[in-house]
Amino acid sequence: MSDLTSELHELLGDDGFLKLTDVHGGIRVYIPKVAHGSTLASEIGVDNTARLSKMFSGGYIRVPVAREFRARHYRAHGESNAMIARRLGLTETGVEKLFSRAPKERVTAKKDPRQIEMF
């Protein structure tokens, strides 16, 4: 992740970052000085726009596309590769490659507190 991507994700949280990248991913966006009544506020919410205004007030930012983040989010919500491909402007093969390149998250089984450790 780039510095700006990490910064925006940390600032807005998962939901706010998803809204921003869904609406404006890949383009420059003007960040208004006042959040209320702005077009950006109607698109991503007043709270998210206010957070951006505190940091980037009156300037432009290049919103990252954040394909990996968005694809993981959509997959976690049960969307198919075909639907993810449509949302991200990729082919289904592109989505499959994106997931195959992504680091695997280890899922560990829940331990039964009644069992002892063997090793």
Pair (57, 90) in one structural domain: no
Residues 42-67 have a mean pLDDT of: 95
Whether 98 shows a pLDDT value over 70: the answer reads yes
Number of domains observed in the structure of the chain = 2
Which residue did the predictor score with more confidence, 73 or 109?
Answer: 73
Q: Does 118 reside within a domain?
A: no
Contact 67, 98 (CB under 8 A): yes
- 2 confidence band (pLDDT: 50, 70, 90): confident
CA dist 47 and 11 (Å) reads: 11
Q: Does 27 reside within a domain?
A: yes
Residues 115-119 have a mean pLDDT of: 73
DSSP string, 27-74: SEEE--SS-TT-HHHHHH-HHHHHHHHHHHTT-EEE----HHHHHHHH
Contact 27, 66 (CB under 8 A): no
Pair (78, 40) in one structural domain: no
**Which of 48, 17, 18, 14 lies closest to 31, judged by CA?**
48
Pair (25, 42) in one structural domain: yes
Whether 109 shows a pLDDT value over 70: the answer reads no
Residues 70-76 have a mean pLDDT of: 94
**Model confidence pTM above 0.95:** no
Structural domain range at position 73: 67-101
How do residues 80-93 score in pLDDT, each as one tens digit? 999 999 999 999 99
Q: Does 9 reside within a domain?
A: yes
DSSP secondary structure letter of residue 115? S
Pair (49, 78) in one structural domain: no
Q: Does 107 reside within a domain?
A: no
Q: Does 31 reside within a domain?
A: yes
Look at residue 117 in the predicted model and tell me its pLDDT.
76
Pair (14, 51) in one structural domain: yes
Whether 106 shows a pLDDT value over 70: the answer reads no
